[in-house]
Chain A
Amino acid sequence: EAQVTQNPRYLITVTGKKLTVTCSQNMNHEYMSWYRQDPGLGLRQIYYSMNVEVTDKGDVPEGYKVSRKEKRNFPLILESPSPNQTSLYFCASTREFGHTEAFFGQGTRLTVV
């Protein structure tokens, strides 16, 4: 089954404690990206990757890091989380950017206290 898997689904953490949200896809897609979803602001892109070792900033990259060492994995790293990073996060992948369906993970609800 084609899918994007994110972990964890829910996470409560404290300010400043480093965390990683994992994302893995089984469709051999080259393009992957991270979005955050906030009430009233919709979905905003954090980072994206066009292929292995190729990553770039989206619209709201501050406070986040990513890596793409393998095609299937695209983890999101928060080195020092702050309360304004409390949000719902989605990972997505697509075979051909702009023309084909984007597959989304089920989301990670992060709360930073």
Chain B
Amino acid sequence: GNSVTQMEGPVTLSEEAFLTINCTYTATGYPSLFWYVQYPGEGLQLLLKATKADDKGSNKGFEATYRKETTSFHLEKGSVQVSDSAVYFCALPHSGGSNYKLTFGKGTLLTVNP
């Protein structure tokens, strides 16, 4: 079935530093790919998505490109802020047999210090 391998961290950066969180996947076909973010005490919310190969998703200064050749969807931001401190999850949908679910990576805790 589909699976996601995500850099687990934790990651600690200073404000304005460059961020990369690696995500690689295995999947049947070419599913949509997602990054979700979980701020402290809250539920997950969509950060960005890409629906086909070579698509770039972007939001709030974050970007990720759907790379079919390397089966990757790495999250990047050029200059992080303290308010970006959160847990980040890479995810892809799994639909097979009788199961329909989002498969998540283990999550990466990002802490940004002033």
A interface residues (Cβ-Cβ under 8 A, vs B) = 4, 31, 33, 40-43, 45, 48, 50, 56-59, 90, 92, 97-99, 101-107
Please report the C-alpha to C-alpha distance between residue A103 and residue B34 in the assembled complex, in whole angstroms. Answer: 13
Min CB–CB distance B91 → chain A (angstroms): 8
* B70 / chain A contacts, CB cutoff of 8 Å: none
State the total of A-B contacts with C-beta under 8 angstroms.
Answer: 65
Lowest 4 A-B CB distances belong to which pairs? Answer: A104-B43, A98-B93, A45-B101, A101-B46
CB within 8 A of A98: which of B32, B44, B104?
B32
Min CB–CB distance A3 → chain B (angstroms): 10
Cβ-defined contact, B104 with A42, below 8 A: yes
Q: Is B102 an interface residue (CB 8 A)?
A: yes
CB within 8 A of A48: which of B32, B101, B104, B105?
B101
Q: A98-B93, A98-B95, A99-B51 are in contact. Are A48 and B107 (CB under 8 A)?
A: no
Cβ-defined contact, A43 with B99, below 8 A: no
Cβ-defined contact, A97 with B95, below 8 A: yes
* A104 / chain B contacts, CB cutoff of 8 Å: 36, 43-45
Cβ-defined contact, B99 with A58, below 8 A: yes
Q: A99-B51, A104-B43 are in contact. Are A43 and B89 (CB under 8 A)?
A: yes
B interface residues (Cβ-Cβ under 8 A, vs A) = 31-32, 34, 36, 41-46, 49, 51, 89, 93, 95, 98-102, 104-107
Cβ-defined contact, B93 with A42, below 8 A: no
Min CB–CB distance B100 → chain A (angstroms): 5
Cβ-defined contact, A56 with B45, below 8 A: no
Cβ-defined contact, B43 with A105, below 8 A: yes
A-B contact pairs, 30 of them (CB 8 A): A4-B43, A33-B101, A42-B104, A42-B106, A42-B107, A43-B44, A43-B102, A43-B104, A45-B102, A48-B99, A48-B100, A48-B101, A56-B99, A57-B99, A59-B99, A90-B43, A92-B44, A97-B93, A98-B31, A98-B100, A99-B93, A101-B46, A102-B46, A102-B102, A104-B44, A105-B43, A106-B41, A106-B42, A106-B43, A107-B42
Cβ-defined contact, B49 with A101, below 8 A: yes
Please report the C-alpha to C-alpha distance between residue A58 and residue B1 in the assembled complex, in whole angstroms. Answer: 14
* A41 / chain B contacts, CB cutoff of 8 Å: 106
